Amino acid sequence: MIERIKQIWHELLSPERQHGYGTTLLPAVVGLAILILLSGGIAVMGAIDSERSARETSQYTTGVIARLEKVRALAVDVETGQRGYLLTGQRRFLEPMKQSVAREIQLLDELKTYAYGNMEGPQENWLARIDRLVRDHFEEANRSVKLASRGKRVEAIDELRAGAGKLRMDELRGLIDRYEAFEYDRQARSLKAASNFEQIGGRQVLVVLLVLLLLLLLIAYLLWRNTRLLQTETELTETTEAKAQVELISRELNHRVKNLFAVVMAIISMTARRETDAKIASEKMRERVNALARAHQLTIDQDGGRAVSLKSLIDDVVAPYLSDCQRYRSDGPDIRLPQRTATPIGLALHELATNAVKYGAWSQGEGGQIAACWTVERDGDSDAVALVWTESGGPKVTAPSEEAKGFGSQLVAQSLRQTGGRFEGEWAQTGLVARLFFAVQREPEGGFEV
């Protein structure tokens, strides 16, 4: 049984079911508490009622007993008056005697009225008997007084001596005693009942208070618990979201790393295919992988790996080849390239820069200058970028033949294709003018697509 209750309790308050039961448990408990309060109220009313009835009984008993005692005392007065007259012959004893009798009868009438409706068992008989005895006593007293007044005093005394009066008095006393004892007993019973009720009522009040206290505690507990559960839920949601975010990032990272490995492998095999000299080959590989690394690093440094500004990309690619005597400038509106565009553009720019150092404006140490300028035009939901790489002040250049177009120019062309753009090379007298056209997806709300 206790196990079962424990089980139910656990089910009611278990966290998984809290939301299901929390709303039904509370009204149930409140309903139960109201029932207990009602029963407590009824018990207290009962206690008050029984106390009132005990008080009434008590008053009634006092009234009955006071009158009975008076009757007893008056009976003695009547006896005294009778004997006084018989012994002394003085009439002054008669007046109190008569008065006592009148008062006695009046009292008994009063008692009958008073006790009417409150009679139970033998009381009515007793009262009738007492009434009879009092009247007999009066008649007997009257008779003996009349005898005495007619001069037959001795006869009257003899009659008194015969003892009928004493017997009557004894019976009266006995009856009154019994009547009183009966009333006392009734009072005692009623008081006891009242005190019992009072005890029960008192206990009930205690129980009610206890239940109220428990109810308040339970409500407080449930409120606290709900708050806690809500908190835990919020924390859980946050953790889940954070986890999902981490998973997303790690997936993207994994994708990028695999892609980078593929690109590095391509750089190695393509460079190796062209260079027979191991030293030159490794030098070129290092430069190209380094350019890749720098483009990648830029996207990591800016905007949490999502985008990079075009100016910082160009400046960073060119930076390793700059020296005091070489002139360089880059200029154009601010535009940010997503990672998938930044890497190929970075590699293309790297090829242009190394080409300039090898054959172009920066190949002679002094006087050569490079200007990288771009314009941005809005084209639907993307930005069209036109970047012009202008070399000047270098040696005279000619367009390479189709066969001579090396890996560099292929790489530049394919890199631009990768971004959905194109490359145009113009080998002018003054130097190479390279035009790079590519599109940048306009940043949607919430950042670049991964």
Q: Which residues bind other proteins (CB under 8 A)?
A: 251, 254-255, 258-259, 261-263, 265-267, 269-270, 273, 340, 344, 347, 407, 410-411, 414-415, 417-418, 420, 449
Which residue's CB is nearer to other proteins, number 129 or number 405? Answer: 405
236 phi/psi in degrees, rounded to 5: -60, -45
Check if the beta carbon of residue 130 is closer than 8 Å to that of residue 108: yes
CB of residue 258 to other proteins, shortest distance in Å: 4
CB of residue 260 to other proteins, shortest distance in Å: 9
Q: Residue 443 burial (CB < 10 Å; 0-12/13-18/19+)? A: middle
Which residue's CB is nearer to other proteins, number 387 or number 411? Answer: 411
Q: Locate the DSSP E strands across 82-132.
A: none
From CA 329, how far away is CA 309, in angstroms rounded?
A: 16
CB of residue 322 to other proteins, shortest distance in Å: 25
Which residue's CB is nearer to other proteins, number 344 or number 368? Answer: 344
From CA 327, how far away is CA 395, in angstroms rounded?
A: 15
CB of residue 441 to other proteins, shortest distance in Å: 9
**408-437: string of b/e by CB count within 10 Å (b at 16+)?**
bbebbbebbebbebebebebeeebbbbbbb
CB of residue 31 to other proteins, shortest distance in Å: 55
Which residue's CB is nearer to other proteins, number 333 or number 406? Answer: 406
Which residue's CB is nearer to other proteins, number 163 or number 406? Answer: 406
From CA 32, how far away is CA 34, in angstroms rounded?
A: 5
CB of residue 388 to other proteins, shortest distance in Å: 21
The residue behind tokens 């295919």 is 273
How many beta carbons lie within 10 A of that of residue 400, not counting itself?
A: 14
Which residue's CB is nearer to other proteins, number 120 or number 402? Answer: 402
Start-to-end C-alpha separation, the chain = 61
